[in-house]
């Protein structure tokens, strides 16, 4: 398997497909998934002539189930290690949900300072801050994330069926067309990861304030989110991201769910391609 080893000894699995002289598109997956969540996008952009790269976050998928570093700083550092090993330049970084937080921290701390990033995309991403605080009154109450931790610790297998069967893809909405394959694939990816990494990752995606990361990004950045996102409320995410970014473009999709790049891949892929080519 293609693996890189980070400075702290963590092994990170990655995929690297396509012409090595083509513009690279780097995909950053959400919690608790893996690079497999980008299958549709990777095949689409590969067919359009791009080099496509994706990795499994530490503790997720096929990467090491280490007991440390489950925080946004390490996530970004690991992503940078992959980018540097492959010497990717003029890259477009696309992140979904927690992966959007990873993109924001990576671009601000590594990608732009190293001159490796051309553009970025945040899809239903967690920045600037998910949890409700006095400074972030529109955020999600901490009790919701405590509930995630309790459910994961008590019965991860059931929890990882309940999330994709319900709010993640909007399959709990009246008239929704569900897909058992999508649900089972989400479950499969989640169950590949380390319980510890996924438990601690809840704090990383919900309590990391990334206001400064967004302020620091100067490359063109596309912000995409559905207004029926039941996981990351768009008014406390995409709308704020667009205000904080120097060169942000906002696209809100009526009725789309948190997992819209899977359930509405045709629309999302077309808009991504237009942005990348622009």
Active site residues: 97, 229, 258
In this structure, the strands spanning 11-17 and 51-55 are antiparallel
Alpha carbons 157 and 238: distance in angstroms, whole number: 30
Q: Would you list the DSSP string of 135-154?
A: S-TTSB-HHHHHHHHHHHHH
Residue 133, Cβ density class (10 Å: 0-12 exposed, 13-18 middle, ≥19 buried): exposed
Closest CA to 251 of 228, 275, 223, 273: 223
User: In the beta sheet, which residues pair with residue 117?
Assistant: 91
Residue 229 tokens, joined: 């996102």
> What's the rounded Cα separation, in Å, for the pair 278 and 268?
15
Q: What phi and psi values does residue 120 have, to the nearest 5 degrees? A: -140, 155
Place of tokens 């999330």: 163
* Helix pair angle (39-47, 265-277), 10° resolution: 50
* Cα(19)–Cα(220) distance, integer angstroms: 24
Question: H/E element holding 198?
Answer: helix 195-207
């Amino acid at each position: 398997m293609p693996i890189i080893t980070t400075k702290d000894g963590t092994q990170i699995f990655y995929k690297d497909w396509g012409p090595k002289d083509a513009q690279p598109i780097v995909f950053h997956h959400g919690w608790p998934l893996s690079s497999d969540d980008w299958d549709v996008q990777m095949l689409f952009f590969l067919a359009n002539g791009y080099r496509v790269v994706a990795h499994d976050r530490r503790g997720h998928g096929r990467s090491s189930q280490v007991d440390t570093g489950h925080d946004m700083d390490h996530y970004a550092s690991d992503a940078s290690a992959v980018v540097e090993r492959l010497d990717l330049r003029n890259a477009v970084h696309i992140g979904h949900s927690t992966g959007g937080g990873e993109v924001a921290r990576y671009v601000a701390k590594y990608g732009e300072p190293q001159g490796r990033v051309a553009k970025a995309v945040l899809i239903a991403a967690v920045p600037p801050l998910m949890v409700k605080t006095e400074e972030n009154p529109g955020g999600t109450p901490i009790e919701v994330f405590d509930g995630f931790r309790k459910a994961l610790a008590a019965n991860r297998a059931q929890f990882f069926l309940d999330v994709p069967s319900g709010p993640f893809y909007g399959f709990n909405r009246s008239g929704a067309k569900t897909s058992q394959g999508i649900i089972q694939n989400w479950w499969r990816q989640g169950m590949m990861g380390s319980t510890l990494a996924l438990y601690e990752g809840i704090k990383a995606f919900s309590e990391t304030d990334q206001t400064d990361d967004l302020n620091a990004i100067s490359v063109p950045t596309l912000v995409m989110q559905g207004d029926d996102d039941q996981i990351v409320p768009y008014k406390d995410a995409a709308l704020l991201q667009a205000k904080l970014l120097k060169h942000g473009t906002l696209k809100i999709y009526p009725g789309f769910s948190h997992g819209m790049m899977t359930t509405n891949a045709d629309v999302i892929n077309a808009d991504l391609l237009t942005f990348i080519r622009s």
